[in-house]
Amino acid sequence: MNFNKFLTIFIFLLLIACQQFDDDRKAINYSTHQKYSNTGFTLIYNEQSRKDNKISKKIDNRALVIFHKKIKKNSFVKITNPANDKSVIAKVISNKAQFSDFYNSVITPRIANELSIDSSEPYIDLVLISENSTFIAKKAKIFDEEKNVAEKAPVDGITIDNLGTELNKKKTLKKHKFLYSIKIADFYYMDSAENMILRIKKETNLKNPLIKKLSNTKYRVLLGPFSDIKKLEKSFDEIKLLEFENIEILKDA
């Protein structure tokens, strides 16, 4: 009789422990997902790109929405233009849209306009906003209202204009030098970074990987720098075949 009681208690405690393990594992995965961020080039949507099959889906030019391949649908992200620190909050409306992996997202002309993004060099910072943020509840509530307002605006009213006043026009003439690098990964040990360099040279035709020491415990593997966007995209397309988790494009790295 005592043995049966002991067995019952043991099974009960075991089930609780298993449940706790599952909850902890879910929490860990959830937390990791919330830390997603990426810097790189975005693709500004236009109808010609869709006709040329560069983008598989249509998007509303007037809305604060984006396509993204890794972030789940209905999530919110903060998009920043590093050139002027302007930011907007946008909603991911699809992670099924097809477009080149060279771009970290597809944004609308409205977003590009609000951030004053240079269409010839559309470089952005993109950060996923945590689902438990108090902001998310407020934004989700007013999102449909904002969408209705956008739908009433004429499509032709959304244009990408980086010039503005004569003062801004003069500033754009002082264009910085195009210089970007591809960040493969950061490593704690130099040996790990060196092994990555060997793998890149062995499995690709890329011959210019390098290691940048950021600290005694942080070593960054990079490709570049590149002074031409076509060469940058070609190298990106080749390195992505190794299926690294989160390749980024860094400016003046």
- Which amino acid is residue 234, in one-letter code? K
What does the pLDDT read at residue 51? Answer: 87
pLDDT digits (tens, 9 = 90+) for 38-73: 999 999 999 988 888 889 999 999 999 999 999 999
Contact by Cβ (8 Å): 247, 236: yes
What is the number of structural domains in the chain? 3
* 202-215 residue pLDDT tens: 999 888 899 999 99
Mean pLDDT in residue range 184-189: 93
Residue 83 confidence (pLDDT): 92
What is the pLDDT at residue 166? 42
Final residue in a domain of this structure, among 118, 149, 173: 173
Is there a single domain that holds both residue 99 and residue 68?
A: yes
- Taking only Cα atoms into account, the Rg of the chain, rounded to an integer number of angstroms, comes to 23
**Domain check: are 52 and 154 in the same one?**
yes
For residues 91-113, give the mean pLDDT: 93
Burial of 41 (0-12, 13-18, 19+ CB in 10 A): buried
Residues 222 and 139 in one domain: no
Query: Which range of residues forms the domain containing residue 50?
Result: 37-173
Q: How many CB atoms lie within 10 A of CB 190?
A: 13
The residue-averaged pLDDT of 95-101 equals: 91
Mean local confidence (pLDDT), 144-149: 53
DSSP 55-99: SSS---TTSSEEE-SSSPTT-EEEEEETTTTEEEEEEEEES----
The string over 90-128, giving b where at least 16 C-beta atoms fall within 10 Å of a residue's C-beta and e elsewhere, is bbbbbeebebeebbbbbbbbbbbbbbbbeeeebbbbbeb
More confident call, 155 vs 93: 93
Residue scoring higher pLDDT (132 or 140): 132
Give the residue with greater pLDDT, 136 vs 5: 5
Q: Which residues contact 167 (CB under 8 A, 6 or more apart)?
A: none
Q: Is the pLDDT reported for residue 163 higher than 70?
A: no
The contacts of residue 195 (CB under 8 Å, 6+ apart) are none
- pLDDT mean across residues, the chain: 78
Among 173, 189, 211, the domain boundary falls at 173
The enclosing H or E element of 104 equals: strand 103-107
Bridge partners of 92? 66
Domain's final residue, options 173, 189, 223: 173
100 and 144 assigned to the same domain? yes
- The model's confidence at residue 159, banded by pLDDT at 50, 70 and 90, is very low
Specify whether 45 is located in the same domain as 25: no
Q: Give yes or no: residues 185 and 210 share one domain.
A: yes
Helices (H) and strands (E) in the chain, counts: 7, 10
Band (pLDDT 50/70/90 cuts) for residue 176 is: low
Amino acid 161: pLDDT: 46
Residues 155, 194: Cα–Cα separation, whole Å: 51
